[in-house]
C-alpha cells in the first residue's frame, strides 16, 4: 500500500471528483428524449439519444471546442443538439425544429444541475485531511460564476486554503502555469503535493510531469491496484479509501477512518 509520507498539500479537482457533475451523459440524454417523445415525432427517443451522445462526445473530444464549451456549457449543449439533429437529417431522418432542440438542450442542463451532489465521502475526506494538517487546494476548470456557484452550493469555500477557478484567473488545467499558481498560493513545492482528480489528461499527467504525487478517483476502476496501468500513484474507487494512503496528524501515526 502506498503511503504518501512526504506530502504536505492535497490539491483536488471539483467536477466528478468532489461533486458528481458530468458522468453518463447518455443516461441524461435518454431521459430528456423520452420526456420530449411527442415533440420528436417519428424519430425514436433512443435513436435521438444515441445521436446526441455521439455529438456530445465529438464536441468534448475537440480541445479547442472543449476550451470554449467548458466556459459556456449551456451554449455548448445547444451546439451539440444542433449538430446531432443535422446528422440525423443528413441521414434521412426527420429531426424536430431548432426551437425544440434548444428546449431539449436546456432541459439537459437543468437535469444536470438537479442531479448534482457531493460525492459520497467528500465531507469526511476534507475534514480528515484538514484536521491532519494538510494544506488543501481546489483547482477547477470552467467559468467563474458557474464553478463558484457549485462551490457555494455545497459549502466548500471554507474547506480549502486556496480555491482556483479557470474563469477567474485565466489559467486552466492542463496548463502547467495553472498548477504552479496553486503551489505558490499554498506555499509548497510540487514534490510535496498530491493531486487528486478523475482525469488522466487534465489532472494526473500534468501533475506528474511537474513532480507531484497523484491519486486517480475512478469509481468504475476494477478491484485491485491498477496504478501502474493508469499512470497514477494511487487509484481509488471511493473517496474515503483515499485516506488510508495518507499519514495522520503530524507525529501521531496514520490517520484512522
Chain mean position to CA 1: 26
The low-confidence residues of the chain, meaning pLDDT below 50, are: 228, 250-257
Question: Which residues, including other chains, have CB under 8 Å from residue 195's CB and lie 6 or more apart?
Answer: 11, 12, 13, 139, 179, 203, 204, 207, 212, 213, 214, 215
Q: How many other CB atoms are found less than 10 A from the CB of residue 46?
A: 12
Asked if 126 contacts 196 with a C-beta cutoff of 8 angstroms, the reply is no
**How far is residue 199's CA from residue 216's CA, in Å, rounded to a whole number?**
7
Q: What is the pLDDT of residues 204-220, one digit of tens each?
A: 999 999 999 999 999 98
Best CA proximity match to 119, nearest among 225, 62, 196:
196
Determine the angle formed by the axes of helices 98-115 and 25-35, rounding to 10 degrees: 130
What per-residue confidence (pLDDT) applies to 226? 52
Tell me if residue 194 falls in helix, strand or coil.
strand
Asked if 52 contacts 84 with a C-beta cutoff of 8 angstroms, the reply is yes
Query: Across-strand partners of 11?
Result: 137, 195
Per residue, the 3-state secondary structure of 31-81, as one string, reads HHHHHCCCCCCCCCHHHHHHHHHHHHHHHHHCHHHHHHHCCCHHHHHHHHH
**How far is residue 45's CA from residue 36's CA, in Å, rounded to a whole number?**
8
What per-residue confidence (pLDDT) applies to 199? 94
What per-residue confidence (pLDDT) applies to 223? 65
What per-residue confidence (pLDDT) applies to 21? 86
Asked if 14 contacts 151 with a C-beta cutoff of 8 angstroms, the reply is yes
- Which whole-number Å values give the CA distances from 72 to 39, 52, 121, 179, 192, in the listed order? 26, 18, 29, 22, 34
What per-residue confidence (pLDDT) applies to 228? 46
Kindly report the pTM of this predicted structure.
0.88
- In terms of phi and psi (left: phi > 0; alpha: psi -120 to 50; beta: otherwise), the region of 133 is left
Amino acid at each position: 500500500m502506498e503511503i504518501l509520507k512526504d506530502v504536505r498539500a492535497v490539491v483536488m479537482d471539483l467536477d466528478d471528483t468532489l461533486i458528481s457533475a458530468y458522468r453518463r451523459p447518455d443516461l441524461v440524454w435518454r431521459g430528456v428524449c423520452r420526456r420530449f417523445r411527442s415533440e420528436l415525432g417519428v424519430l425514436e427517443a433512443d435513436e435521438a439519444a444515441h445521436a446526441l451522445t455521439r455529438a456530445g462526445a465529438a464536441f468534448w473530444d475537440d480541445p479547442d471546442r472543449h476550451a470554449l464549451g467548458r466556459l459556456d456549457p449551456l451554449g455548448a449543449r445547444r451546439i451539440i443538439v444542433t449538430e446531432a439533429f443535422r446528422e440525423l437529417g443528413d441521414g434521412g431522418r426527420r429531426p424536430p425544429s431548432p426551437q425544440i432542440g434548444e428546449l431539449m438542450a436546456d432541459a439537459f442542463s437543468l437535469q444536470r444541475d438537479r442531479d448534482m451532489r457531493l460525492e459520497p465521502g467528500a465531507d469526511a475526506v476534507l475534514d480528515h485531511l484538514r484536521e491532519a494538517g494538510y494544506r488543501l487546494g481546489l483547482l477547477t476548470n470552467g467559468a467563474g460564476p458557474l464553478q463558484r456557484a457549485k462551490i457555494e452550493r455545497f459549502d466548500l469555500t471554507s474547506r480549502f486554503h486556496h480555491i482556483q477557478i479557470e474563469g477567474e484567473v485565466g489559467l486552466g488545467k492542463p496548463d502547467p502555469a495553472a498548477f504552479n499558481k496553486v503551489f505558490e498560493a499554498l506555499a509548497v513545492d510540487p514534490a510535496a503535493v498530491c493531486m487528486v482528480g478523475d482525469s488522466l489528461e487534465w489532472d494526473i499527467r500534468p501533475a506528474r510531469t511537474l513532480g507531484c504525487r497523484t491519486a486517480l478517483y475512478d469509481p468504475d476502476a476494477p478491484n485491485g491496484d491498477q496504478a501502474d496501468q493508469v499512470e497514477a500513484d494511487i487509484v481509488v474507487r471511493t473517496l474515503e479509501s483515499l485516506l488510508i494512503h495518507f499519514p495522520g496528524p503530524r507525529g501521531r501515526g496514520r490517520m484512522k477512518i
